[in-house]
Amino acid sequence: MTVHPYRPMSARFADQHLSEPLLRALDRTGPGALIIADPASGEYRLTHARYLTAQNREVIVYGYGDLHHDLDTLAFVRHTERVWPTATAVADQAAHACLNWEPWEPVRPRPRTALAALRRAMDRDGFALLRRPLFHEQGEVGRLDDTYLDTRDPATAVTVATPYPDPDMPDPDGAIFTWITHHGSYLTGWYTPTSQRHHLPREIRTRLRARLDSNT
């Protein structure tokens, strides 16, 4: 039997590119919409956060929030309709950078089961994954930041920083850091032990309600 060497996704997707029609479809889909590198098809495709699975090992390369950040930035220097070709080029570069960067695609990627479960739980509670994850180097254990939009109150954004490569790290002192912004201003933040991550969406709702009520 012939054993074929593993090809990193950066190599598999070298000749694939994000297109303007794909970005416009991302825009129409709204918060929670994501573009992923799909290892099964070898193509970029549009999906929603609720359909992400750890088993498929998709790599998120661009999100609805990333698109609007880029469009808003480019609108300062270009006419609204003229920004799309430039935004497409920017998004395509970001997608390839994700796949070239080792934290996104280790040589032998393993399923990040706990992180996928947390994302699904956040979606069920009305928090739409808004942007591609951001990786931060922190010694032996890195940090992966997911930013969500509260669909019940779109002025509220929640960032959940989990240990990388997975919240299920063999560290009894491991913690998830969560912070909330409202209308772009910091509202509150706290640490949650990774062992308690299953309750995080409910905890976010409780703390968010308490802080907003105290400000009224």
134's tokens = 């951001």
Residue 168 has pLDDT above 70, yes or no: no
Q: Could you give the angle at the alpha carbon of 143 between the alpha carbons of 211 and 34, nearest 5°?
A: 80
**pLDDT band at 99; cut points 50, 70, 90:** confident
The answer for residues whose C-beta is within 8 angstroms of residue 176's C-beta and 6 or more apart is 160, 161, 162, 163, 167, 191, 192, 193, 194, 197, 200
Residue 48 has pLDDT above 50, yes or no: yes
Of the candidates 114, 132, 118, the one whose C-alpha atom is nearest the C-alpha of residue 169 is 114
Q: Could you give the angle at the alpha carbon of 188 between the alpha carbons of 190 and 131, nearest 5°?
A: 85
pLDDT at 11: 81
Mean pLDDT of all residues in 190-206: 90
Compute the chain's Rg from CA coordinates. Answer: 18
Cβ pair 99, 135 in contact under 8 A: no
Q: Which residue has the higher pLDDT, 214 or 77?
A: 214
Of the candidates 123, 108, 124, the one whose C-alpha atom is nearest the C-alpha of residue 165 is 108
Cβ pair 113, 17 in contact under 8 A: no
pTM for the predicted model, two decimal places: 0.86
pLDDT tens-place string over residues 120-137: 899 999 999 999 988 877
DSSP string, 45-107: EEEEGGG--TTTT-EEEEEHHHHHHHHHHHTTTS-GGGHHHHHHHHHHHHHHHHHHSTTTS-S
Cβ pair 119, 143 in contact under 8 A: no
